[in-house]
Amino acid sequence: MKAEVFAIGTEILIGDILDTNSHFIARRLPALGIDCYFTHQVGDNLERLTGELRRAWERSDLLLLTGGLGPTEDDVTREAVAALVDEQPVVDPELEHTLRGFFAGRGYAMPERNVKQAWLLPSTRAIPNPRGTAPGWWVEKDGRVLVAMPGPPAEFTFMWEQEVEPRLARLAGGAVIVSRTLKTIGVGEGTVDEMLSPLLKSTNPTIGVYAKQDGVHARITAKAATRDDATALIAPLEAEVRRILGTAVWGADDDTLGKAVGGMLRDRGMTLATMESCTAGLLGATITETPRSSDYYRGGFISYWTELKKRWGVPAQVVEQHGVVSAECAEAMARAAALATDADFGLSVTCVAGLDPQEEKPPGTVHVGCYDRATDRASHISFRFNQGRHAVRERAVTVGLLLLRRTLLGEQPGQVIRSG
């Protein structure tokens, strides 16, 4: 079953709002066994919208629309659908009654323009919308299905969950698609691609390799009659990918790197503290995105001002000899953080995030340090990632967590291979 998705609204095309409905739908379709070939954003223009719908109606089995069901003249989704199936809308007495009741319940009269929200076509059934005034439309004609849903995400997602997805599941009832994403770090996209190349020819499941902010992901996707069958197809390939990539795999699906590394600390009953300069709290904030991170995260220091590093335990001679943006300083910061908080591990970041060099070190220079109190030893990873303030800081946090993970695994810090 082939689907095409439309988000309708001029405010999307002028960039006033970001269309997240289409992404929501796209995420849900694979598990229903429905292939999504295109998503589109179209303005509130009857002619252009009708043109796009006609083309999709010819080549796809299922059209999923959000937006344009409001009461104003701007909202033309109903008119476009009526033109598409060549039918005349009529006011449905029952819908009109519900609609007037909705307004009466709020203590005022229904504006007459709202009456078009009670329209139906001969081939249309209304889909209830308990969160708003616009019912959805379920249209079946000529072996095809069109579903029109309201644009506001709170109304749309409620209608999708309660009404549309269950109906689509019955309608599709064919194959389902299940995906499993394995997440790696410390290995480049090209290398993962090469290591997995014997598996990449597989057609069911398929494997795709993607560079992401938190490393390289290998995504295994299987198609089968049931969810269990698809999961069974994935299992042996997942085992093989894990064997090939070894400890580079740190998590799967919705795991975050902070959660994965935090889980390792929790399992060992160990604690962590941080000291950050350029990231200024982003490392701590990332670690604590995971619920119950207080089990292993003690806290830390934001040593933005150089003087504070010394005040908080970094030896003055380290700063004077190597500067604050140095591997030596990163290691001393990690050590100072652990000792000041009685934590088992200290983790640190120091870098040049701005556009100007600092201590003659170029923008994008990053040093992360990790200290292990049990052995009284520190290690570091140094790299350069000149992609602007935001990206440098995010990357520094990711590599910091990588270094902690390698320390916990007893691995060498190694060299970071840039992915992407």
Sites for its own copies among residues 303-362 (CB under 8 A)? 303-305, 308, 341, 354-355
389 touches 397 (CB < 8 A): no
Beta carbon nearer to its own copies, 171 or 391: 391
End-to-end alpha carbon distance in the chain = 33
- Write the single-letter amino acid at 55: R
Nearest approach in angstroms of CB 415 to its own copies is 8
Beta carbon nearer to its own copies, 264 or 340: 340
Residue span binding its own copies (CB under 8 A) among the ranges 44-52, 141-149, 166-174, 322-330: 44-52
Beta carbon nearer to its own copies, 121 or 172: 172
Beta carbon nearer to its own copies, 121 or 337: 337
Q: Is residue 195 part of the contact set for its own copies (CB under 8 A)?
A: no
Nearest approach in angstroms of CB 219 to its own copies is 7
- Residue among 309, 343, 302, 345 nearest 326 (CA): 309
Give me the 270-309 binding string for its own copies, x by CB under 8 A, dash otherwise. Answer: ----x-xxxxxxxxxx-xxx-xxxx--xxxxxxxxx--x-
Residue span binding its own copies (CB under 8 A) among the ranges 75-83, 188-196, 225-233, 370-378: 188-196
The 3-state DSSP class for residue 383 equals strand
Rounded Cα–Cα distance for residues 295 and 290 (Å): 11
Residue span binding its own copies (CB under 8 A) among the ranges 41-49, 163-171, 243-251, 321-329: 41-49
Q: Is residue 132 part of the contact set for its own copies (CB under 8 A)?
A: yes
The 3-state DSSP class for residue 241 equals helix
Q: Which of residues 214-253 bind its own copies (CB under 8 A)?
A: 219, 221
In degrees and rounded to multiples of 5, residue 371 shows phi and psi of -120, 135
Q: Is residue 371 part of the contact set for its own copies (CB under 8 A)?
A: no
Question: Which member of 247, 256, 389, 411 binds its own copies (CB under 8 A)?
Answer: 389
Q: Which of residues 52-111 bind its own copies (CB under 8 A)?
A: 52, 55, 71-72, 74, 106, 108, 111
What is the DSSP annotation of 317-368?
A: HHHHHH-SSSHHHHHHHHHHHHHHHT-SEEEEEEE--SSS-BTTBPTTEEEE
Strand partners, 140: 145
Question: Which member of 8, 22, 156, 336 binds its own copies (CB under 8 A)?
Answer: 22
404 touches 351 (CB < 8 A): no
Q: Is residue 269 part of the contact set for its own copies (CB under 8 A)?
A: no
Q: Is residue 198 part of the contact set for its own copies (CB under 8 A)?
A: no
Q: What secondary structure letter does DSSP report for 123?
A: T
* Residue 309: exposure state from Cβ atoms within 10 A (0-12, 13-18, ≥19): buried
Residue count, binding to its own copies (CB under 8 A)? 97
Strand partners, 349: 276, 368
Convert 269-303 to b/e letters by CB count within 10 Å (16 or more is b): ebbbbbbbbbbeebbbebbeebeebeebbbebbbb
Residue span binding its own copies (CB under 8 A) among the ranges 45-53, 225-233, 241-249, 259-267: 45-53
Nearest approach in angstroms of CB 288 to its own copies is 4
Rounded Cα–Cα distance for residues 324 and 352 (Å): 10
Q: List Cβ neighbours of 389 (8 Å cut-off, separation of 6 or more).
A: 353, 354, 355
Beta carbon nearer to its own copies, 173 or 420: 420
Rounded Cα–Cα distance for residues 59 and 39 (Å): 14
Q: Which of residues 152-171 bind its own copies (CB under 8 A)?
A: 152, 154, 158
Nearest approach in angstroms of CB 88 to its own copies is 26
